A and B are shown apart, each in its own frame.
Chain A
Amino acid sequence: MSLTINNLTKSFGQLPVLEDMNLQVKDHEFVAILGPSGSGKSTLLQLIGGLLTPDNGTIQMNEEKINGQKGLISYMPQNPSLFPWRTVLDNVVLAAELKGNPDYEEAKLLLKKAGLEEFQTSYPSELSGGMKQRVAFIRALLGKQTLLCLDEPFSALDEFTRIKMQKWLLSIWEENRKSILFITHSIEEALFLADRIYVLSKRPAYVKVEITIPFSRPRDESLIAKHEFFQLKQEILQYMKEELNGDD
């Protein structure tokens, strides 16, 4: 699965949001999109998800134009968005259910791996914030689509839970390596997780710089203390500062 976005432009009325955006997610690749808040990251996702159609440019999946087509991506939103009346097991199969008969055995297996086996029959209101996000991620994984779009999935969690969740996400991802497009505003998160990072400009957004991350996998948290990690972080911080300084 590969995703290619060419010259994507979108504006709402007089307000330009995306301008001439180009990016790519290759097969089995983990790509992070880093941008200041209000830079049009969510708009980008809605364009890829087909909820919006671009004013200009193309979105291609496996060389095929998919502008405005829905249901081709798996999606994990910022807040877990679990259905309160469904048990954990019924929640994780939801995305798959939309496309046909879900595989309950696979769902149970993934829940077990996520340490949620005993919560299968619980309702979301009985889970902690981190557990809810794990359920939401498994729901996205169980979707039949091969591109996962994650919209700032850990931004509402506390620092400790977030680091734990990032490690957990990597460990699950190492096993099946679906292509991931990960939206975030945390530089460390992007550096820790991704193979490549696109840094967006402020609105109207375009790709300011593309950074390939040299760290090998599997990664662990000792990476955060390394000199190279720190240097890359400073570099990206510099780019983002340039963007923010331009503001008013």
Chain B
Amino acid sequence: MHNIRIRGGRSLCFLLLLCLLWELLIRLTETPKWLLPAPSDVLKEATIDFSVFYEHLLSTINLSIIGLVLGCSVGLLISIILHRLPKVNEVLYPLLILSQNIPTIVLAPLLIIWFGFGLLPKLIIISLVCFFPIVVASMDGFRQTAPELKHYMRMAGATTKQIFWKLEFPHALPAIFSGLKIAATYSVMGAVISEWLGAKKGIGVYMTLAQSSFRIDRVFVAIGFIMLLSVCLFGIIRLLERLVVKGRNEGMK
């Protein structure tokens, strides 16, 4: 834990250094604000405009979390079904991979045509980007169960159901959490994309408006908060992982 804090601190210092360099370059070259604002301009805009931005932010947070939970639940359910029914797996797994080749940008307008501008098409988009990392990670996790533990369970007379819930599932938890971390960062991206295409509120909406009126500083405010949101979700998942995954990180202490 201590180590992570030090590492995080170093990253933060480096980020600050980059911002400082950026600020310096903007001032030296006298770049106009509408082309590329300095970090100080972005920060100023963020504080001035926060009361307006706040609502958009809240809406995106809501959307990302609901989408993430939904996408992950669907992903986990699919992976469990596919793992326990190998025949279904043979048919569906290639289709799942294909589904990831449909570009979200193309799919999103279609979903809006079919389902309107409500919550549903947005949640579908977020779930679609979130579920895949979970499916792949958890299926790999289930498959990579230590063979000697499986052999022990079979010799001890465990049923396939017991082998799954007592051995394969807990064994796969670290892998599932890796998938969750990827999904968490994707979910914010999915939320913003879905808002681009039609919504009343959200960082995506704020961003489109800012862009069309050449308020590049506001675009950067949006980008900053998207990153912050991703990092927060990532952190929450990490925290959950610490609470749930036990007895396996001895080397990291």
Contacts and interface: CB of A to CB of B under 8 A. Distances in A.
Interface of A: 45-46, 49-51, 70-75, 77, 79, 81, 83-87, 94-95, 97-99, 123-126, 143, 149
B158 A98 contact: yes
A84 to B, nearest CB: 5
B33 interface: no
A85 B157 contact: no
A90 B177 CA distance: 23
Contacts, number: 66
Majority secondary structure of chain B interface residues (helix, strand, loop or mixed) = helix
Given A123-B246, A123-B247, A79 B155 contact: no
B143 interface: no
Contacts of A97: 166
Interface in B114-147: none
Contacts of B162: 98
Contact of B154 (A51, A83, A94): A51
Given A98-B162, A126-B250, A45 B157 contact: no
Contacts of B229: none
A113 B151 CA distance: 28
A51 B204 CA distance: 57
B152 interface: yes
B246 A81 contact: no
A47 to B, nearest CB: 11
Contacts of A79: 148
B81 to A, nearest CB: 23
Contacts of B167: 83
Given A77-B148, A77-B151, A94-B166, A86 B247 contact: yes
A125 B156 contact: no
B135 to A, nearest CB: 22
A119 to B, nearest CB: 13
A99 B157 contact: yes
A125 B250 CA distance: 7
Given A83-B167, A98-B158, 5 more contacts: A71-B158, A79-B148, A83-B171, A123-B246, A149-B155
